[in-house]
Structure 1
Amino acid sequence: MKTKYLNHDASQYWWLMFYSGILFIALGIWMLVAPVSSYLSLSLLFAFGMIFAGIFETTFAISNHKRLHGWGWNLSGGLIDIFLGSYLLNLPLLTMVVMPIIIGLWMLFRGFMAISSSIELRAYGVLDWVWLLLTGILIVILSVLIIGDPFFGDINIVVWTAFAFLVSGIFRILLSLQLKGLARV
């Protein structure tokens, strides 16, 4: 028996994913616009962004715990975001050394979650699931590039991270719009 990721009632909270997507896109744009800003500022901004995105995703999971099969994955993803964001916020100097690895692993986890979500949407007959799948694969590729050479340079990690944030934000917005469409069905 196949367990589905969500049911139609869970889609009423589509806007939580939408706002987290906007947040990630805003972070990505900021990183591209101001790549020479201090690495410390990047770690602090990244920490706050992760905390708020984690709050959105945790709220989405808890709000849908009765309607969302596998809601624990969203909950764990949101809690991981809050934990890592808090870690980055409280230890900024250490974070500057390990931030590329943390970002890469975090984005890798997010990429696999994106791939899984797109496959589940296919089960609901969503026609645009392929775009979500490709976005998830792109997130995985960007995360592997970040992990593969984390000390290549501060500017490169800023640029790769910015692209990873943009793609992750686009995925979340696309996912939220698909969920919004399911809410109407």
Structure 2
Amino acid sequence: MMSTPSDQQAQTPGFDWDRLRSGARTALIVQGVLSLLMGLAFLFMPFASVWAFGIVFGAWTLVTGAATIVSWFTRDKEHRSGWALFSGIVSVLAGSAVMVMPQAAAIAVVYIMAFWAILLGILYAVNSFELRKLGARFWWGVLLSGILAVVLGFIMLFNTGAAVLGLIWLIGIYAIVDGIAEIVIGVRMRRR
């Protein structure tokens, strides 16, 4: 039998559930407003957003790598992994490079996505013919999807500026939708 929130309140005397809900409401609304502002900044200041996004990503990668290296040295010798140390060093180098050249890092991400789309599209096309041999009725849908992925990959390769801009706008739109959803949930929590 599942307990209801009122049962839980009765089971934990002295715990202030209203205060917990109030804190959650406030956190959701604040987080929603920040997401909304970030999304608007990404839409209306895309080039500055690429730079800021690169700096934040670079700092995160640098700190993660440094923590991995410190963790490697503080472990017992039998628990150390050479791959963990290598990963930490690569993260520190990549994070440093991104922080020095954030626009170049954004272009590198687009190239990685473009090559991934081309490879995935080729694999889809090959798999579509295998599906056809197996008698699948809508094998051509997978083929079409593969062709579109290859075309998208080549468009991204030959027009990286537009691809970076599209990626930033996509992140901005997502942040706006996420922010609005969080604000609505926070306000509805307040009404109850």
Q: TM-score range by the shorter chain?
A: 0.3 to 0.5
Decide which structure has the larger Cα Rg and report it: 2
More helix by share: 2
Q: TM-score w.r.t. structure 2 length?
A: 0.36
Q: TM-score w.r.t. structure 1 length?
A: 0.38
